Structures are given as structure tokens and as C-alpha cells.
Structure 1
Amino acid sequence: MKQKTTILSILMLSLLSFAVKAQEKFEFKVSFTEPQAHYADVEMNIQGVKKSYIDLKMPVWQPGSYLIREFPKNVEFFKASVSGKEVPVQKINKNTWRIFTNNANSIQVSYKVYAFEISVRTSFVDESHAFLSPTGVFMYPDGYLNKPSTVKIKLPKIWSKVSTGLEKLNEPFTYRASDFDILFDSPIEIGNHDVFEFMASGVKHEVAMYGGGNYDPAILKKDMAKIVEYQTKIYGENPNKHYVFIVHNFENGRGGLEHLNSTTLGATRNGYNQPGIYNNFLRLVAHEYFHLWNVKRMRPVALGPFDYNNENYTTNLWISEGFTTYYSTKSMLKAGFSTQQNFLNTVGASIAGIENTIGAKQQSASSSSFDTWIIQYRPNENSTNNSVSYYSKGDVIGILMDLEIINATKGQKSLDDVMRAMYAKNMRENKGFTDAEFKKMVEDVSGKNFTEFWKKYVDGTDPIEYAKYLGYAGLKVENTGEMSTWLGATAKDNCGAVVISIVARGSAAWDGGLNVNDEVLSVDGNKPELNLESMMLKANKKPGDLVKFKVLRAGLEKEINLKLTQNRPLKLSITIDPNASAAQKAVLKKWTE
């Protein structure tokens, strides 16, 4: 009898504990009392967390954009209350507010967020609309990241629409996130934006267009659907039921940021009827949509669960971003927006871009990925000399790897098979991949050892053997770049003054001591032009010629004599060999058709 009583007591305690936990609620209300002044007003109601104090934390970075952005700097007027009475709050570090609640069951928190930075990763509010990038708006109770929350948007009378990937609830403009990771990954567009929808691959897609523009919804629906359907075919499934494109149309908009079931894009308002600008927009759509699989689900092990307080280091962004860049180019071809020759031209430009980047000889793709937190989003005047973009280098690695796999399997498999298999593995195991696991999958699919490939192109800085890899597809490659006199200095206009902005390693300017921030007063006694290389060309300067620069440095005039050198940048012309073998033709067909 005693044993039964003990078991019953344990059961009752467990049920009581469950009931207490079930009462935990986290509710947000967002309103806009001063939109013209760029503020969002946030109220947070916390229930069921009975502790002597609660730590509320705001993320310091936005997943997908690898830089500590210090979002808490925009928080003002933070206060907390219990039963209408204000309680003490102590800020214990840059992104943590400690609320002393004395075991209260219900706590109300309020604060304002200043939002006046236009980008796809930061919040912006004015009288025309509000864009909420959640990591810079919402806070989470420390230790409760895995808990659900609700968000209610209180619209000013002048606004009527909300677009977000969050789950809609029955109450107007009220949404639910199953955990804080989902909340932080769901941007919110609020205002009077244009909204239209299309179906593709069995998924309803919503397009929220802010800022007007000369777009045609009918054309966009058709073209965006083609990209969705091609990319879904690669992976064999589309994991969403609802997907949202938030498009911000500006005079010259650009950039994009991926989310689990949405993306934010920057576009040029009146560029939709200009082929070049429109194709770039579709490439951006293709890039961000491909992230639906690559990064948001198939991800490096370091990128989830996220640490929102610190940097999250990985050496694999050349896969996450570089391969996505490559697949945006492939998507344009395979979805019918580019020709085979245009695709080859883009491939050639990508390879030449890496070979002509001085920093590509100093930094590997894996190092570039790891150091993104201090270099990629914070370039300085010397970055082109000591670093390479994992977007660009990863793009080229994707090209080479794809061709290597196709060639090794005699046209039967490609990089698509690797991406599909890695996606399935990560979804099945519910965890991210390591560099070793990705390499093993490449080797399993291709039947080929990739150790040397990794050594050269992933962890190394070897020159790209482009003729070899393109030769697999029966392609002839010619360097059409011309030898030219090289100064190696780039200038910018500073209120009419010509000021040095970049000095290339190994150039005449580098060796001769021309400095960034030097104001050029004259070149061989002549008034300087903004394009200094063009000045050398117009003056018929030759390698070995001396050029006299007069500059103003730190308020003092200085003369610098430079001895010009020469340079032949790589410029690739890629054509199909009419005498290609059957095997080569099979590789080209698999790659481009």
C-alpha cells in the first residue's frame, strides 16, 4: 500500500510540474506610436516563470549574416512591472536585462526599438511601412529558447497588411512561433504593400512588394515559379506549405537574406523592364530560394542550434553560400533564363575573378569562412590583398566539383546528387554536417578520392586548373586578357579631390610607397584623373617608365617616384570543341542541359 501511495505521489508531482510548465507563456505585442520617428513599441507578457529574477536577452547578430551587429544598441525605455507596479531591472551585460520578479507569475515588459537602417537584415520603420527583422526586435528569456511565443501586430490606422512566414492564428494580425529560433527566423513586413500569390511545386508562395515599381505580377509569378520548380526537382521535395518573398523596391536596391520559409530581397524599383537588372533580380530570387535547403535545413553543424550571444564559427560557408551562388547561375540556365553560352561566360568570369583576386593567393575558402566575422562584412582598404570571398571561391569550387563528379561517373551523377543526399541525411538525423562528412558524401557519390582536391581548393590557395576541368566537358579555353602597364592604385572622389583608396600588393604603387588616403595633387605635373590606370594608358606609359606623383599626406606634400610594372589579368573565352569526344559531350550535356 505504501509503495502504491509513493508511486501515486510521484505521479501527482509530475502532473503538477507539467501543469506549471504548461502555463509558461510568452506573448509579444508590437505597435507603432511614432513611426515617423522610426520607433517600434514592444510589449512582452511573461507568464508561468516563477523565479526570483528573469534574464531577458536580445540576439547580437542575425543568422545568415555573419557579423556581430549589436542590436541591443537600439533598445530604449526598457522597463518591467508586476501587477502594474514597476520592478527593479539591472542590465548585466550588453544584451541582457535582469528583471527582479520575486517569483511573480506574470511579468509585463515594455521597450522601444529604434529602427532606421535600410538593409535586408536590419529593421526599418517610417510612416510608409515597418520591416521587422526579429533578432533586433524581440527578446527571449534565458533558458527558454525552445518555448513557443505569439506576436500580435497592432497596426496604425494608415496601414492594413502584414506579411510574414509565421503561423497565422485566428485573431487578426496574430501569429505563433513554435520556438524562439522560428520567431527570430521570420521577418515581418507591415504596411500597405502589394501582395500577390502563385503556386509552385505544391507550395503557396506569397510575394509582398513594398516601394512600388514597374513589375508585372503575371510575369513574376510565371518566372519565379520556374525557379522554384527547378530547385525543388534537385532535392526531390519542397519542405514548406507556405513561403513568403518580402521584396523592398528602392531606387537601387540589392541584397537578400534567407529564412526558413521566407526571404527578404532588395530590388531596383524601375528595373523590372530592363533585361540585365531583371535577370539579376531573378538570380537573387534563385540564390535566396536555394537556401531553403542549403543552409536552412542542410547546414554546417556549427549553424544550429544558434548561440545568439556570440560568433558561430564554421569553415563551411564556401558550401553554404558559395555553392548557392553557383546554383543561382545553374538555375538561370536550367529554368530557361540564360543560354548555354551565357552560362559558360559566367563560369569563365567566376574563375577569372578568383584568379585575378590577389587575396585568393593568401586565404583559403575554409579560412575565409571561419574569418567571416572579422573580414567579410568588415572589409578595409587591404582586404583585396589578404582575403577572398567564400561566395566567390565557393562558387568556383562548386563548378570544379560538379565537373569532376560528372566526369568520374561518366555523366551519370553530378553535384545535385551530393546536395540531395546530404539534405536527406541531415533531415533524417536532424543535425548539421561536418567538413569530413560532406567530403565523404562527395566521394561516395563520385567514387573518387577528393583529398587532393580539398588540399588544393578548399584548404589551400592553389591556382585553378580550369583548362583541365572544363576540358572534361569538351570545352576549349583561351585567355584573352591583354598585357598592360600596371600602376596598381585605385582612387575615389572625395569632394572633388582624387584620393587613393586601394593599393594592390606587388604593384608599382605598392612597391613605390603610394598610400591609401594619399590625396593626389598631380601626376607628372598634370591634374590627376579619378581613373589613374587610364591616365597611364593615355600617356602611353610603358613598363619600366618612371611616374612622378605629388601627394598630400597628413597635411604635408610629398613626391613619390614610381616605376611602372606590367600585368596580364585573366579573361577567359570558353567555346565548345567541335572535335569533342562522346564522353566529353556526355559531360557537357549533363552539366548544361
Structure 2
Amino acid sequence: MIKALKFCSFLAIYLFVFTSNAETKLSYKEVKMNYSVSIVDPESHYLEVTLNLEDLHSKTTKLLLPVWTPGYYLILDTPRYIVDFEVLDHNGKKIIWKKETKNCWVIENGDKTKFTVKYRVFANKKSVAESYVDAEKAFLMPNTIFMHLENAIANPVTLTVNKYDKWSKISTGLKRAGEKENVFFANNFDVFYDSPIYIGNQKTIDFTHEGKSYSLGIATPKGLNEESFVGDLKKIMSATTAIMQKIPYDNYSYIMMEAGGGGLEHWNSQAIFTKGSFDSSSTIDYTNFLNFVTHEYFHLYNVKAIRPIELGPFDYNKENYTTMLWVSEGFTVYYEYIIMMKAGLLTGKDALKYLTNSIRSYENAEGSKHMSLAQSSFDIWLNFFNHESNAKQTIISYYDKGPTIGLLLDLEIRNNTSNQKSLDDVMRFLYNEFYMKKQRGFTEAEFWSVCEQYSGKPLDEIKKYVNTVEEIDYQKYLKYGGLQIDLSPVTPGNIKNKVIEKDFTITALPDATKLQLEIRKSIFEF
């Protein structure tokens, strides 16, 4: 998810996968839910929210607001920003309500089958996971603003966005309801919550590619070469489709905001911060930005569709734990470089350099001696923004070790099958078998079973590298791909506050066999 933040995660799946949601299995009668959000005075940072409910079937109505954002593993406690909450019947008379928990509002509506809820939201957090409004724009994360009915995540919802009168554009992956440009519809709240909305005067570009529709909203387009940039996006998407062999959406929205840090994946969109312009000071800056975009784009396959079973259906009221984010995030880092290379935007040697940096970052971190990869995933709720003085000495990032395991696993499968199978086959199988066919995520045991199915051999050693801090035998695995790694000690030095003990430079093996050369060329194209 949020690759730019080292201990974050750059993940809500909303097509038919969510028909298995435990909440949706409950029998309930559909309620008409029509939201509107108005931005009257953006400099105050407040949003005015109105919810009209009709066809209620209970004397008591419970409304809940999520306390976290999928893909952003931190309890945000967004209910603290709700103020002036009130409930009115059709005559404008106030209806009694109370708080049951920090994020649950209980309304005593009695025999009333319809009423209106009004409240304001203080939106002043500049983040890809929270809502923000100022004089120039508004970024709305629906899960931080709009409440859902208890046990009714599957309830449809409409939203009318009343823009500030000085703004003209709305960028979002939400579907429009009819012809009006400011009215949107979602089949359920998982869809709704997974669809950020950017409102302002951003530059918008609409285009089609391989039969799908795309919208691109750019807040700060200075220096943009539209034809070249859109062309690079198309190359990235084509390379991804070539690997996954599926395009799981009809429309996709790129939301590229002003200068900031991080990004967040969504099922039919991504919302990312930029450096504030497209005037890149160097080719590497632009390449790194495309890596970032590719990372978020591949997440719609890996974590949205291909996902640990704990990550959807979500419990929006508390932490959702999994030991498998190293697959969701780490493999996505691995594939961002592979996709960029296949798209012709990175050379194979450049892709290998990026992966070498991941190995170097992990191996030269003191935390590698204390935290396993599986633990780094499970404990992300503790370490998402861990700035304690001992953090660098005790924790690791699955963004570093995760792609390393991805590379080793890919090499192992290719070596065991004479390069007839690869990690690509694993990813496609997980997508088709669990997302498409079984309409759910995979368990840890199922993940390893699929990997071993394609490897043809047990993967106990790689499992050990995931679940322990045991030293990795890089030479063994890299040799499968005609590569070698320099493990000789180097003079200690301080680079980005890390003491370098080994350089870990990876180079071509001079006496590689035919199979090793084939594997290297299949992955890195040299």
C-alpha cells in the first residue's frame, strides 16, 4: 500500500467477493440511504453531511463510522471529527439519540420509517487515508465521513457532492448515478468506502486503453508531457495484463494530488501524492515515480483480489490481523520492478539494482536479528508509525524482506521446473482459484500449498526465512538465475543512518549453465 512510508502499507474488495461478508449474510431489509456532502466554507476545514434514510424496519437504528482505512494499518479514530450530530423527522422535529461506543450512534426512531441525520466533519488531515479540505481542494475518504447501518454493509448508497462554487472538477472511481456529474452510486459500503473523491480544479484527462476507460486527475500538472505520461501508464497497464491475463475493472481512476508523501490503492482507483510538479530533476526521479504508480496499480490484483483471508470482509471497528502482508506488500514491490522492466521503463539490470537495495536495507538493519517477516506483518498495527528510539534496532519492514522472498521463491520455482513455471503462475492461480472461483482470500496454508504445487517440492527453507530470523542463503538461490552476490565485509559507514556491514552487490555468474541463463533472461531480460 503506502510504499513511500517505510513501515506503512500502501489494501477493501468490492465486487462479488464481498457478497461473502459476514455482515451481508445476515438477513436484513434494504434501506434507502441517500447522502449529500457540501463544502460551503473550505477554509474552515468542515464538511456538511446530510443522510436521508427511508424504509426503516426497526424502532432503533444504529449508525457506525469506521475507525481505520483498509491498506493503512492504524486505528485513526475518525469519529472524533464528527460534530453537531442531530436527527430530525420529516417535520423537522428532533429525534433522541445516544452514543453506544466511540463510533456507534444509536437513534431511537420508534415507529418512524424515515428520518434525516445531519452532522459536520472536521477534515484537516493531509493523508491518503483521511479527509482534508482547504481553500483549494477537498480530498474525501468516504470511510472517514459517512456512516453505515449496523449489519448492513451490503446496503446500497447514493452520494450527492455539492462542490464549493469556485471548483469545477470531481475525480473518483465511483460510478455516476444517471446523467448528473455530482451524484454517485455504490452497490454497497465496501465499494463506497474504497472510493476516494478529489474535488477542485485539477487537470483531468480521460482516455481508453485495451477496451477500458480511464480518468486521470492531476492537481499540480506543471511540467507534464501529457502524451508521454499517458503512454507510460498504458505501457505499465499492458505489462501488468500480460502477467495476470485479466483486467478486473471497467473503469479506473488515477488521482494524483499535490506534493506530499505516500499513496493508497483502491479497487478501481489509486490516490497518491506527488512532488508537486512533473518537472523531474532527473530521469531517476521520474522512474521512481512510475515505480510508485505501478506499485499502487498492481495492488488491485495483489491485496484487492489476491489477498490473505483476513483482509476482507473487513471489520471496520477494530484491527484486522494477518501474518501475510509480506505477500501483499512485498510481492507488490517485487512486481513493480518486474512490470516496469516488462513495460520497457526499466532495464533488467536496473530492476536487479532496486531488488539489491531491498536486500541491503533488510540485511544491514539491526532489526533483522530480532523480528521475523511474519511478525512484521502481524505487528504492523503497533509499528505503522513507530518512532520509538529503539525501533530501528528491533523491527524490520516487509517492504524490504518481502520482495527478497518474492525473488527467491520465483527462482526456486523456475529452477525446480526447468523454467517452465514461475511465481507468475502462482499469482494467476491465486487470482483465478480464490478470487474468481471461491470468492474469498487464501489462508496461509493454502498459499504455501499453491507455491509448493507449482514448485513441485517442499519449500521448508523459504518458509523458515519468513517465520524466523535465520540467515538467508542468497548464493544458493541467486545461482539458480545465473547470479552471484558479494557477501564480503565492507568498511562500516553511515548511509541513511544505517551502518553498512556488507554491500550485497549482485552480478552475473560468469560460468552460468544454459538453464541458469534461461532463468535469468526470463526474469531480468539479460
Give the Cα separation in 2 of the matches to 1:118 and 1:205: 25
1:30 aligns with 2:37: yes
Aligned to 1:258: 265
Give the Cα separation in 2 of the matches to 1:335 and 1:262: 20
Structure showing the higher strand proportion among its residues: 1
Structure 2 spans left out of the alignment, 5+ residues: 1-27
Instruction: Choose which of 418, 424, 442 in structure 1 pairs with 2:451.
Output: 442
Instruction: Answer yes or no: is the 8 Å Cα contact 1:410–1:586 preserved in 2.
Output: no
Counterpart residue type for residue 56 of structure 1: L
Equivalent residue runs for 1:76-225 within 5 Å: 76-83=83-90, 84-170=92-178, 171-225=180-234
Q: TM-score, normalised by structure 2?
A: 0.91
Aligned to 2:81: 74
Give the Cα separation in 2 of the matches to 1:87 and 1:65: 35
Counterpart residue type for residue 36 of structure 2: K
Equivalent residue runs for 1:276-355 within 5 Å: 276-355=284-363
Offset from partner CA, 1:20-65 (integer Å, 9 cap, x none):
935x200100101121111111100111113222111100000011
Give the Cα separation in 1 of the matches to 2:479 and 2:493: 32
Instruction: Answer yes or no: is the 8 Å Cα contact 1:244–1:261 preserved in 2.
Output: yes
Structure 1 spans left out of the alignment, 5+ residues: 1-19, 491-503, 505-566
Residue 346 of structure 1 deviates from its aligned partner by 1.7
1:584 aligns with 2:483: no
Instruction: Answer yes or no: is the 8 Å Cα contact 1:212–1:249 preserved in 2.
Output: no
Give the Cα separation in 2 of the matches to 1:484 and 1:310: 43
Counterpart residue type for residue 136 of structure 1: T
Instruction: Answer yes or no: is the 8 Å Cα contact 2:253–2:270 preserved in 1.
Output: yes
1:460 aligns with 2:468: yes
What RMSD over aligned residues (CA atoms) do the two structures have, in Å?
1.8
Residue 285 of structure 1 deviates from its aligned partner by 0.8
Residue 239 of structure 1 deviates from its aligned partner by 0.9
- Report the CA distance shift for 1:489/1:164 in structure 2 as closer, same or farther (over 3 A): closer
- Report the CA distance shift for 1:377/1:239 in structure 2 as closer, same or farther (over 3 A): same
Equivalent residue runs for 1:241-252 within 5 Å: 241-250=250-259
Give the Cα separation in 2 of the matches to 1:410 and 1:272: 45
Equivalent residue runs for 1:373-384 within 5 Å: 373-384=381-392
Instruction: Answer yes or no: is the 8 Å Cα contact 1:351–1:464 preserved in 2.
Output: no
Instruction: Answer yes or no: is the 8 Å Cα contact 1:201–1:232 preserved in 2.
Output: no
Counterpart residue type for residue 38 of structure 2: S
Counterpart residue type for residue 303 of structure 1: L
Give the aligned length. 494
Higher relative contact order (CA 8 A, sep 6+): 2
Aligned to 2:438: 429
Give the Cα separation in 1 of the matches to 2:37 and 2:196: 13
Greater radius of gyration (CA): 1
Secondary structure of the 2:284 match is helix
Secondary structure of the 1:87 match is coil
Instruction: Answer yes or no: is the 8 Å Cα contact 2:479–2:509 preserved in 1.
Output: no
Q: TM-score, normalised by structure 1?
A: 0.81
1:61 aligns with 2:68: yes
Counterpart residue type for residue 203 of structure 2: D
Counterpart residue type for residue 176 of structure 1: F
Instruction: Answer yes or no: is the 8 Å Cα contact 1:132–1:188 preserved in 2.
Output: yes
Instruction: Answer yes or no: is the 8 Å Cα contact 1:163–1:190 preserved in 2.
Output: yes
Give the Cα separation in 1 of the matches to 2:387 and 2:403: 20
Give the Cα separation in 2 of the matches to 1:198 and 1:580: 45
Give the Cα separation in 1 of the matches to 2:421 and 2:37: 50
Instruction: Answer yes or no: is the 8 Å Cα contact 1:348–1:571 preserved in 2.
Output: no
| Identical pairs, percent | 38
Could you tell which deviates more after superposition, 190-199 or 429-438? 190-199
Aligned to 1:52: 59
Counterpart residue type for residue 146 of structure 2: F
Counterpart residue type for residue 318 of structure 2: N
Residue 473 of structure 1 deviates from its aligned partner by 1.4
Give the Cα separation in 2 of the matches to 1:173 and 1:480: 61
Instruction: Answer yes or no: is the 8 Å Cα contact 2:405–2:462 preserved in 1.
Output: no
Instruction: Answer yes or no: is the 8 Å Cα contact 2:358–2:399 preserved in 1.
Output: no
Residue 482 of structure 1 deviates from its aligned partner by 2.0
Could you tell which deviates more after superposition, 258-267 or 475-484? 475-484
Secondary structure of the 1:207 match is strand
Secondary structure of the 1:322 match is helix
Give the Cα separation in 2 of the matches to 1:434 and 1:272: 44
Offset from partner CA, 1:414-464 (integer Å, 9 cap, x none):
111100000101121001100110101001111111123202x11111112
